[in-house]
Every structure is written in C-alpha cells, then in structure tokens.
Copies of this chain bind each other. A is one copy, B any other.
Amino acid sequence: VKEIKVAQIGTGFMGKTHSLAYRALPTFCPADVEVNLVVLADVTEQLASTGARMFGFENWVVGWERIFDHDIDVVDIVTPNDLHPVIALEAARLGKHVICEKPLAVDVAQTLEMVEAVEEASVVNMVCFNYRQTPAIRMARKLIDEGAVGEIYHFRGQYLQDWCVDPQSPFVWRFQASKAGSGSLGDIGSHAIDYARFLVGEIDQVVAMTDTFVKERPLPGSQTMHPVDVDDAVSMLFRFKNGAMGNLEASRFCYGRKNMLTFEINGSEGSLYFDWEHCNDLLYYSARDQEDRQGYRDIKIGPVHPHAEAFWPIAGINMAYFETAVLQACEFVTAIAEDRPAVPDFRDGLQIAEIMDAALQSAAGGGWVKVKQVV
C-alpha cells in the first residue's frame, strides 16, 4: 500500500469536491494506496479551519506557501486561475505531484511554463477536466473506437449556463481577465474543447466570435460597478485535423440551461448524443440496425459500461458529479501508484490553451486562425 499525503489549496466548490473524492477512494478505487489528507490552505483562518473540519484534513494553514511546512506528496490546486502557475511551479520545484483545476493558467505562456516545470521535475501532473470522466462519455469513446459511429462528419458541442444573466449578479474573479484568463470560454467552454479532443481528435483551425453582454457588475455587497473584461459567451466553428466539421458554443447567458453540457457526433455509421443534465443517458443511433427499427437508443449507463463498474449494482441508480470527481481522483492516485503519467495531463491543458488562444485571436481579429499543435 502506497501512502499518498495530500495538500490542498482552496476551499470553494472544487475544494469540497476534490476532498470528498479522496475520502471516497477506498470504496470505489482499486488503486493500492492510502490517501491521507494532510493539510488544507486558504486565505483566511476562517476558511481554512472550517474547510479542514468539513473536508477531513488533519491540518490547515493560512497562505498556500505554508503547505510545504508539512510532509506531503501531492499538491491539489483549487484556487482562482491566476494562482495556479506560481503554486504549480513551486510544487514541481519541490518534486510534488500536482493536480490542478482548469484552465491551467490565464494564458498560453504561463501554461507552457507550468508544463515545462512538471515535465522537467518528472512529477505526475493532471488537469481537472472532470467531465471526460463521465461514464457516458467513456462509453461514447468506446463506441467511436470500435467504429460504431464510422467516419466522423460532425461534432457539435455546447456548454450553456444561466447564472450570469442577471446584471446585478456581483463581480467576482471569474469576470476579470487577469484572474480568469477568459470568461465562458475558459470556465466552461474548455470542458467542451476537452471532450471534443477526447472523442474526435485534434483541432486544426478555428473561427470564433465572443460578446460581453453585461459590461460592468457591482462589487459584492456594494453599489460600486466594476468593468467586466472577459467574454460572456463564445461561439466557434472549427475543423478537426481528421477533416470533421466542428462547432461549439459556451455561454453563461442562456436562461433555463443550468449546466447543459452536450455533444452530438454524426458519422458514416451512426450518431451519438449526450447532455450532462441527463448524465446517465447516452444516445446512440446505429445505421446498422434494421431499417424499420432504427432510432436513437437511450442507453442507461450502469455497471456494464466503462468507468461505471465500481459504483452501483444496476443502471438507473444513477451517477452524477460526485462520481466524476471520484474517477478523476482515482486516475490521479493510480498514476502515482503505478508511476505513470496521468490523463489528461498538463500538456493536454496546454493544447486546450492553444485552442482557446486561437479562438480569442479570431474573435478579436476576424477570420480563421490555425491552432498550434503541442501534443
């Protein structure tokens, strides 16, 4: 049994999720490890101490630098995006394995620095595109790999939310380019880009448009307005290297769409459709079925499907966000235990940063932009 001592920085939604997943590993993850939650950091004593109690950490510190006072193997970064690089670089310098929320950094240059640091340090590194852990998406990948969809003609992806439509919704770091990098693009669109690559392949070129519908927002608990300098929405067309056509839209301005993360893939033998809001259903159409009984099959994901074996005895019990977090943590600790790269790693994160950079360039200047290939 390999012991893995975890330090985590951040106590927000992702701090909650990651810590919960670590504690659930013994139940669901076959890796021969013992994960100990050693220390939790945040910017105030209140946040750090409350977090430590709720999330099961033995210790807490104020200020991320203090985690290194403890004996740790892993640094888990769940801070605002602009802090990812400095923490990751220090962790790599000290030979710690690193798992980091997405997007890795606010721009390509910083992302590249992070990649170089972890690769030079030869530490296990992973970027948290947790949705690709969804068993339904794994089943989609299996069907594609088996040729059940045939040659792919179309990919269309969406990630739509509605929590920003209200102009009185306060200014937070996600609306600030220097802290977030981009808006809907990096926050949610990056997930859709991730599974576009995971399912269909690399993206060759892109054209995009963006908009910022609400130009300024009140600071929290205040009447003072602060300008928003990130995209509220992005829409893009792209061409995959394998020739498939793609499009993708990310917006936080779609009333009624709470966390609608979809894809549709159409190929020469069949089609696939998925919507995270019904995350236990994978729709699959097979043109090989007898003609008069073809139709999108609503496959209810359960223990016969990839990535779902460890959870519940039948389909329909349902899995959700929690399970994706467990699968992600399991991949990370298994990679450490087996001394192999984790998937997706920082280099995947860099490729996604390149795609987002091309999209932002296109949105700013018009026209198609070639995507730099770094994997």
Give the B-binding residues of A (Cβ under 8 A). 13, 16, 19-20, 23-24, 26-27, 53-56, 139, 142-143, 148, 153-154, 156, 160-163, 165, 207-209, 211, 213, 232-233, 235-237, 239, 243, 245, 247, 249, 251, 253-260, 264, 266-271, 273, 276-287, 289, 291-300, 302, 304-305, 312-323, 366-368
Q: Which residues of B contact A299 (CB under 8 A)?
A: 292-295
Q: Which residues of B contact A287 (CB under 8 A)?
A: 165, 255
Contact call B271/A257, Cβ cutoff below 8 A: yes
Provided the pairs A258-B302, A367-B366 are in contact, do residues A318 and B245 lie with their beta carbons within 8 angstroms?
Answer: no
Contact call B276/A255, Cβ cutoff below 8 A: no
Contact call A295/B284, Cβ cutoff below 8 A: yes
Contact call A211/B245, Cβ cutoff below 8 A: yes
Shortest beta-carbon distance from A287 to chain B in Å: 5
Nearest B-chain residue to A315, judged by Cβ: B258
Shortest beta-carbon distance from A201 to chain B in Å: 16
Contact call A297/B296, Cβ cutoff below 8 A: yes
Nearest B-chain residue to A326, judged by Cβ: B322
- The distance in angstroms between the C-alpha atoms of A313 and B286, with both chains bound, is 21
Closest 6 CB pairs of A and B: A259-B316, A258-B316, A256-B285, A295-B297, A318-B320, A295-B299
Shortest beta-carbon distance from A177 to chain B in Å: 20
Contact call A154/B368, Cβ cutoff below 8 A: no
Contact call B207/A237, Cβ cutoff below 8 A: yes
Contact call A254/B55, Cβ cutoff below 8 A: no
Provided the pairs A278-B278, A320-B320, A368-B366 are in contact, do residues A161 and B314 lie with their beta carbons within 8 angstroms?
Answer: yes
Which of B243, B255, B278, B294 is A256 in contact with, Cβ under 8 Å? Answer: B294
Shortest beta-carbon distance from A372 to chain B in Å: 19
Q: Which residues of B contact A278 (CB under 8 A)?
A: 278
Contact call B56/A26, Cβ cutoff below 8 A: yes
Q: Which residues of B contact A284 (CB under 8 A)?
A: 293, 295
Provided the pairs A26-B55, A211-B245, A368-B367 are in contact, do residues A259 and B293 lie with their beta carbons within 8 angstroms?
Answer: no
Q: Which residues of B contact A54 (CB under 8 A)?
A: 26-27
Q: Which residues of B contact A366 (CB under 8 A)?
A: 367-368
Max chain B CB contacts within 10 Å: which of A295, A304, A314? A295
Contact call A277/B316, Cβ cutoff below 8 A: yes
Query: Could you list 7 examples of A-B contacts with CB < 8 Å?
Result: A207-B207, A236-B237, A254-B266, A256-B294, A257-B266, A293-B299, A317-B320
Provided the pairs A55-B26, A255-B285, A256-B285 are in contact, do residues A297 and B297 lie with their beta carbons within 8 angstroms?
Answer: yes
Contact call A16/B20, Cβ cutoff below 8 A: no
Which of B236, B251, B291, B320 is A322 in contact with, Cβ under 8 Å? Answer: B320
Nearest B-chain residue to A278, judged by Cβ: B278
